[in-house]
Structure 1
Amino acid sequence: VIALDQKIVFDWGFDIAAAMATETSSIKGYDFQGYNVYQLPSASAQIEQAKRLATFDVNDAVGNVEDKFFDASTGVVATKVVQFGTNSGIKRSITVTKDAIKGGAPLVNGIKYYFAVTSYNYNPSPTAVPNNVENPIKIFTVIPQSPDPGITYSYSPEDTIKTIHTTGTSDGSSFALVIDPTKVNGHNYEVTFNADGSWNLDDKTTSTTKLANKTNLSGDGNYDFTDGLQVKVLGPPLLGKSWSYVSASPANLSPVATAADPSYTGGRWLTGGNHGGELFFGGIFMEPNFWGGTTVTPDKYTKVEIRFRPMASFTDLNGNGSYNIGEPYTVDDPTKTQKAFMYSGFSGSSYLGFFDIPFTAWDVNDPANPRQLNVALRDRDKNHQWDLHFAASPADPLLPNGGDQRFNYTFILISTYDASGTMYGDGSGGTINLWGGPNGDQIDVQWTMWVNDRGNGGMLAEESIFTLIPNFVNTQADVFGFTANANTNSSAQAVLDVEKINVFPNPYYGVNTEELNKFQRFVTFNHLPANAKIRIFNLAGIMVKTIDKVGGSQFQRWDLQNENGLPVASGVYIAYIDMPDLGTTKILKLAVIQEEQILDRF
């Protein structure tokens, strides 16, 4: 619990082992579901008197928990909401600035407030009675207060400290959320990454690792706390991020396209076909999302350009006067194309050969130095060319495979283009086994295309560039750094802070809301330094009380009694506060109006 200026921070994640034990608890079908934060009217209050401030629950399908109860007014068993979950996700801290007991009034420094944090578990079984269990409340008494004299906090709770991406090119990010400003230490920190994508937080000032092998990249509230900070690391999933299609300028249209459709003036001619890929209307996959495996590690994926050439002519196999997918074709400039390793299936024995395709593929991570890439095709119909996914209906016996050109996949590899055609097949058989690796693919596939005709000019209707951009995940090359500025403790500031010293309640009107009974009367001085001497005088100049404050908190009570232990009379008093460590003094006026009392104890 952190008491600050008109606010209180509750941090139940500082002991991560205890938090994890709570959040992984499962007892006889009752699994952890969330936390509740309550404010109570007193230190002895029961939970029925509490005001619920917040619920942080697991983000799942549970949400509100309803349970049965006996309604004494009707004599029947009814149902009501007993846990108010919102699928918010788990958080382990909260900042409180309002007094819920008093209708949302601001918290007042020097006043006691009472809070509790509980956890609850839930059993989804319809026969579980009750279906939820909540641990008993443990009440915390907290007094909000401004910083001690001379101390200036660098941050407020929930302030954000930005990080700098010092090395690496990932799309990831990181920041630090201030939980406890009193613990921020001025150290330099770095976020680094392991080969498996997990991350560490290193304190560079002390050469220690504060957090190790953390895997949360979601940005939610479920991150560990250290040094008063909650460092959050975010990273994109291993998915395609975006694509673009750019027509050549000036336009270079296929004569086949313009003959078939004189109104065609250019534009995208291929589409995704809704095949389940993460990009391009379901037609583009990063390879792990297609078969589920590749030899390419997450840090190696590249931005790829596919540079298409327009169709120049075709062989009209069925004599219908227009191009049908699967018919042989040529492109306008074969010198600007490449060959691909073609397989009819997914094993080396299905290797067909090294044949022309109507495009080139390039790694353009470094645009100034593009690198041409190998391409492999699944040529299911064995016509030795690149085709779109298409099925003639009805089947056309004059076309290859009866016009069934479905499932012709294009694999963009990460290896540099081998114009000799021997890297993945040497004429006697292929070396690719798409299903032979421990996780699926045995080759270095980074992108898979499964694309269809868009119905806009036809296949290869124009010269164009189709660009695929991956999410660049966090890798061992990436480092994020930041400095958590230290709090300051200045003697000069402490002298200035003398102006903040006060006494409350002032005037004292017969009672203090903090008093427990008529024998406990007091006012409180606040914002005092560690050592001070308080002398109380009446208006006649007679000293009625001396209070020596030695160490401890910034607060000091006066019990409204004189040196003889008797209640002081109503009137105006002068408090002369001497602060020898600071070499300064402070004078306050205090009005005391005592209530009429008949003492029954002496």
Structure 2
Amino acid sequence: MFSGDPETSIGWLNTQWHDRRIFLSSGPFILEPWTDSDGDGVAEFGEPGIQEIVACALVARGLNNLNSVTKLKQISHLVQMAYDHNYQLGVPPKSPNVTVSELPNEILLSWDGKSEYNSDRSPYESTDPLIAMAFGDTVITSGYVTHVVDDSTYNFYQYVLYQYSDETGSDPVEVDTWSIGKKYSYNPHQARFFRILCNKNPKVGNIDYQLVNGKTYHYGLVAEVFLKDGNPEVISSRPTIVSVTPRYSPGVRYEASFNDTLEVKHTVTETGKTPSDGTTTVWVVDPSKMTGLDYTVSFNSDLTWNLTTSNGDTVLADQTNQTGNNAYNLTDGLMVKIEGGEPGINLNIPGPFGDIPGFSGFGITGGNKWFSWPVNWGLETMGGSFGNGFMFFGSDVEPSGYVDVEIRFAGIGASGWPQPDSTAGALMVVSKAAYPERWQKAVVYWGPGYDVQSTLGDVPFTVWDTESIPPRQLKVAFVEEPRSDRDGAANLIWDMGWGDDHVFGAYGGREYLFILNETYDEQYTEYLNGNKDGTYNGVMYVGGWGMRSASRPFLQDAFEFQVYAINPNSPYDLFTFTAPAAAIPTTEFLKKDMKKINVVPNPYYGFSSEDINSNGYRVRFTFLPEKCTIKIFTIAGTMVRKLEKNDPTTPFLDWDLLNFGGMAVASGVYVYHVDAPGIGEKVGKLAVFLPNLK
């Protein structure tokens, strides 16, 4: 009714504080009987009697009465927008599945990653039809800033953890957020979990005070997706609400602590196979979930991985993540992180100039190198001039198909420089005479359409797979630029545009070089007939080299160029480790822990946050063993209540402050006696002050 904002006191506001009730009516609606026009027995729009009536009731709850009005307006706007677009809106992510662990003065919440995926396990995406219609348009946003709508798809954004004052989700307080790539001081290994050590909700207790054992706390985890131009920008899942109670486990001593690292052994299943460059790291996150079992990480043919136990159970199957990021799930209280290394060049190996970013993963030996990096083509190393095939024109090479190679470049030989004829063709003749073993044939493509040439070209080097024993010679492809205005030299010789003018072309004449993982022969039949494309099929590595300096001419010297590949995890690799022993209560520690039995709150002063309602008083005995009897006496020695516990799942037992007759006990001091057969006894005092008697 009033369009203003009651929180900011701006706009048309209700200034008359009276009861206002509005009655709205619509109709009448005349509902015609349905006629099955096509006789298929299915009611369909367009048939007589088929109509749709939409009714909506909106309820909103904010931080207070005025904020509730603001929330209601926001929800009303979204509902109207949904109706206007026939409910064709972005789809919220699935609510996360949350697992809880209740530890001493600590709560651990972990979850799976299902909110990050669609039902078919593809990464979550949901298109906003309204934004899709505006795709490519220039829009004006707040502050009169213009930008082009370049995205119409919601993608996974983050998880948000809230703490509530009760199990219904009242009084939400944001505790933390989690997203892939975010860094956490309490979670150095970045798995999907929150470790909660203190209270964050003022309705529950003092802010940043340690969690109290035996006190129940309420949390909710929400998954959010984001679209910059979406309305709304963020869509949230329904919260997954859990109620958890920090606790000790009587008689239990954990063998491991949070953040402990386990020893992992890496072996191969077949003699002669080289272990991968991959790693497996394992940390203890939840000491209470330890099993004492042996675990094995193995890999399938598609390089997904499994985690199995020594008792034959597969606890994780067909896992794809080998990136080393934080999108891993907890398993049996452990965080198992598999890093297989990105396929291709191993950029962790320093280059010939030292450990310099952008110049790693390759080596140079022998004589003076006569090429360099004329331009950064966006590749991984050598100043952007050399890298993996999938970063250039793409590649169909599997992750395990990248191998170490050595490119053995030819030189001009003993005759040296200068040469009487320094054209590319004449230099090739001299070089082949001096280094016949360092020339090979290659399939050639001419731009701009990258058409395959019917005649094979010559390259002044040979390429070898150095992981094979003996080394295996590999095939090569290269591109030439026949257009004169592009400074190329289409002469079927890989010479970086040297041609007949004795000068390297700009950008190396754009004579891109492709190293193929296919055993060399001089036929190249499948490439010449077009069944294979040498710029894509089998391409491991790509070079976009050019002139180093005017004093380093084409074929000046012989040298070698090495490329070091990552060896990814393969079905031959196994990683094994042993979890710490399971935490099992022992009689020795149960006896020692009898002295830790307590009752809270003590004194009970008319109210406890754990009370059921205003008339449902309650105190809680803590640190109790599985079986025990609690007798409660007045100071005069009269027993007023007897409680029995026979529950291995909890160390708690509540007393409702009622006597044998179901009446509230009188205010005063009481003595309690705990008897655990075969373990021991504990005697303590409790002060009770009920509201009407304190």
TM-score with structure 1 setting the length: 0.72
Distance 2:611 2:536 in 1: 77
Cα deviation code 1:297-334 (max 9, x no counterpart): 43242212334455444686898xxx677761646993
**1:39 equivalent among 160, 163, 178:** 163
Q: Secondary structure of the equivalent of 2:590?
A: helix
1:377–1:408 Cα contact (<8 Å) kept = no
**1:283 equivalent among 385, 409, 421:** 385
Q: Secondary structure of the equivalent of 2:560?
A: strand
Is 1:55 the equivalent of 2:167? Answer: no
Letter in 2 for 1:478: D
Kindly state the Cα deviation for residue 522 of structure 1 after the two structures are TM-superposed: 3.6
Cα deviation code 1:107-139 (max 9, x no counterpart): 11111212222344556656x4x5555455564
Is 1:481 the equivalent of 2:603? Answer: no
In the alignment, which residue of structure 1 is the partner of 2:318? 213
In the alignment, which residue of structure 1 is the partner of 2:194? 94
1:373–1:413 Cα contact (<8 Å) kept = no
Kindly state the Cα deviation for residue 214 of structure 1 after the two structures are TM-superposed: 3.0
1:247–1:462 Cα contact (<8 Å) kept = no
Kindly state the Cα deviation for residue 475 of structure 1 after the two structures are TM-superposed: 2.4
In the alignment, which residue of structure 2 is the partner of 1:503? 599
In the alignment, which residue of structure 2 is the partner of 1:140? 242
Alignment of 1:13-162 (within 5 A): 13=112, 16=114, 24=124, 26=126, 29=129, 31=154, 33=156, 34-44=158-168, 46=170, 49-56=171-178, 93-101=193-201, 102-120=206-224, 128=231, 132-135=234-237, 137=239, 139-147=241-249, 149-155=250-256, 161=262
* Percentage identity across paired residues of the two chains: 28
Alignment of 1:205-284 (within 5 A): 205-224=310-329, 226-229=331-334, 231-241=336-346, 242-248=360-366, 268-273=369-374, 274-284=376-386
In the alignment, which residue of structure 1 is the partner of 2:509? 406
**1:467 equivalent among 548, 562, 578:** 562
1:433–1:441 Cα contact (<8 Å) kept = no
**1:364 equivalent among 466, 469, 477:** 466
Cα deviation code 1:497-534 (max 9, x no counterpart): 32332222234445434335564334322111111012
Q: Secondary structure of the equivalent of 1:281?
A: helix
Cα deviation code 1:156-215 (max 9, x no counterpart): 566655543322532323345656554443333333323333x13142434344443332
Distance 1:592 1:237 in 2: 64
In the alignment, which residue of structure 2 is the partner of 1:531? 627
Distance 1:218 1:402, change over 3 A: closer
Letter in 2 for 1:41: S
In the alignment, which residue of structure 2 is the partner of 1:5? 104
Aligned length: 522
In the alignment, which residue of structure 1 is the partner of 2:427? 328
1:574–1:588 Cα contact (<8 Å) kept = yes
Cα deviation code 1:89-117 (max 9, x no counterpart): x9754222220013221111111212222
1:375–1:410 Cα contact (<8 Å) kept = no
2:377–2:385 Cα contact (<8 Å) kept = yes
**1:339 equivalent among 439, 448, 461:** 439
Distance 1:568 1:376, change over 3 A: closer
1:243–1:466 Cα contact (<8 Å) kept = no
Q: Which has the higher contact order (CA 8 A, sep 6+)?
A: 1
Alignment of 1:577-596 (within 5 A): 577-580=674-677, 583-592=678-687, 594=689
1:435–1:442 Cα contact (<8 Å) kept = no
Considering fraction of residues, name the structure with more strand. Answer: 1
Distance 1:42 1:390 in 2: 74
1:107–1:144 Cα contact (<8 Å) kept = yes
Cα deviation code 1:46-70 (max 9, x no counterpart): 3xx210112346889xxxxxxxxxx
Q: Secondary structure of the equivalent of 1:351?
A: coil
Q: CA RMSD in A?
A: 4.3
In the alignment, which residue of structure 1 is the partner of 2:291? 185
TM-score with structure 2 setting the length: 0.63
Distance 2:169 2:474 in 1: 73
Kindly state the Cα deviation for residue 553 of structure 1 after the two structures are TM-superposed: 1.8
Distance 1:571 1:97 in 2: 34
2:297–2:308 Cα contact (<8 Å) kept = no
Q: Secondary structure of the equivalent of 2:361?
A: strand
Kindly state the Cα deviation for residue 564 of structure 1 after the two structures are TM-superposed: 4.8
1:436–1:442 Cα contact (<8 Å) kept = no
Letter in 2 for 1:424: E
Cα deviation code 1:474-499 (max 9, x no counterpart): 22222323333341314233233323
**Unpaired runs of 5+ in structure 2?**
1-99, 130-152, 183-189, 269-273, 347-359, 481-488
In the alignment, which residue of structure 1 is the partner of 2:27? none
Letter in 2 for 1:577: V
